[in-house]
Amino acid sequence: MINEYQTQNELNPKLWTDGEFNNKLRLQLLKIARAFYKFLSIEADIKDVTLTGSNANYNWTKHSDIDLHLIINYKDINDNSVLVRELMQSKKSLWNNTYPIKFKGMNIELYAQDSNEPHASTGVYSLFNNDWVHKPNSDIVSVEDDAIDRKAKPYEYEIDNLDPYADNLLDKIQNLKARLKQLRQTGLESVGEYSIENLAFKSLRNSGHLGKLSELEKDLTLIQLTPTLEIKEQWPSGPFGEKNSYSNYGGPWGTGHHHKTDFKKGPGKTPTKSIGHGRGEEEKKDDKITGYKPVDEAKKKKKKSKIDMVLPRGEQKVLKAEDKDYKRGLLVELLDNGGYEMAYWYDKPNKPYPVEIIVDGKSIKKDGKIVEMKFHPQDYYDEQDKDKK
């Protein structure tokens, strides 16, 4: 029950007193509108700044925003009104997300409206002239709860049952948002603010379903746009080539049957004891400049046998990456069959997120979610050795 289908007996007392708009608030809102105008970076005269929506009407609720519209002529910016409208929508979204300004718990939402665009709201108040453009009617409007629910519930169900692992999830979300936009617009154009379609849209907003949809879209977009670059190693020929790399289980201690992993020694000046051992003062100075630190061999030997973590069998462990900018990491589990199951998580460690899977330097899947590594007992490796001989 959203209580927006039934009007109040007065305008919102947080903004209005006996039908008069709070003058101090009016001046503050005009100041905010001026800052928004500068943010738009356009050359078009402001024809008016208006208050519209529920807070300029008798159907306000505790969920109502303060909708502030700058009235400009889009043609003063460019003859392509569609292009200008898209620009204004983008600027609106960027401003409202960057500057989430509130007054007494109500969001102040700004938008640059075309002066040639018909507005569906029955209540519009001019902050420039401190007077009504369209004065609302306080007559009681009654709409059946069931009618609103019948229109909103299918969308609620669709949003609640979106599959987070679906490959085309982002397309589904964008399609759903387009349908919801069309739903509201149809109701506003045909009946007005009290249309079933508009009230169903508000019901979805108040229940948090629209917010849930937007957050999911933002998370997926961020994941898709995050760069994942594979850096291919360049190995020289000769004794220092890849074949003799100790990090690849080669060299004098290599067994020759292990698979290459991503866990290698870094490109420091002393990747092994024999190379770079006994550096002089000049090389120490290089360490200071480049940020590489000399390797303490005694500590290195101690760390070699150190086990950072013991995985319990059948229990998933959450590992978090050392990252200041993003919350991300791995979900790791030692399976009952001795293998390992791994997945990448982002933002919240409650579900796998798609990530590119690379095995032995080859991309296997661009949006894989769960990777399983099989366990092979010792006799498997012995058999591999026999085959090589």
pLDDT confidence of residue 47: 95
C-beta separation of 276 from 269 below 8 A: yes
3-class secondary structure, 124: strand
Task: Work out the angle at residue 201's Cα, subtended by the Cα atoms of residues 197 and 202, and round it to the nearest 5 degrees.
Answer: 120
The tens place of each residue's pLDDT in the chain, 389 residues long, gives 444 455 678 899 999 999 899 999 999 999 999 999 999 999 899 999 999 888 888 878 777 789 899 999 999 999 998 899 889 988 988 888 788 899 998 889 899 999 988 766 678 999 999 999 999 887 756 566 777 777 788 888 888 888 877 878 888 898 888 888 888 887 776 667 777 788 888 889 888 898 888 888 888 888 888 887 655 555 555 555 555 554 554 444 444 444 444 444 444 444 444 444 555 665 566 555 545 455 555 555 555 556 778 888 888 888 888 887 788 899 898 888 888 899 988 888 878 888 888 988 888 888 888 888 887 776 666 676 666 65
Q: Please name which of 124, 127, 119 lies closest in space to residue 136, comparing C-alpha atoms.
A: 124
Q: Which pairs from 271-275 meet CB under 8 Å and 24+ separation? A: 271/246, 271/247, 272/246, 273/297
C-beta separation of 66 from 11 below 8 A: no
Pairing of strands 316-320, 328-334: antiparallel
CA distance 304 to 309: 14
- CB neighbours of residue 194 within 10 Å: 18
What are 192-230's pLDDT values in tens digits? 777 778 888 888 988 889 888 888 888 888 888 888 765
C-beta separation of 333 from 313 below 8 A: no
3-class secondary structure, 268: coil
pLDDT confidence of residue 256: 47
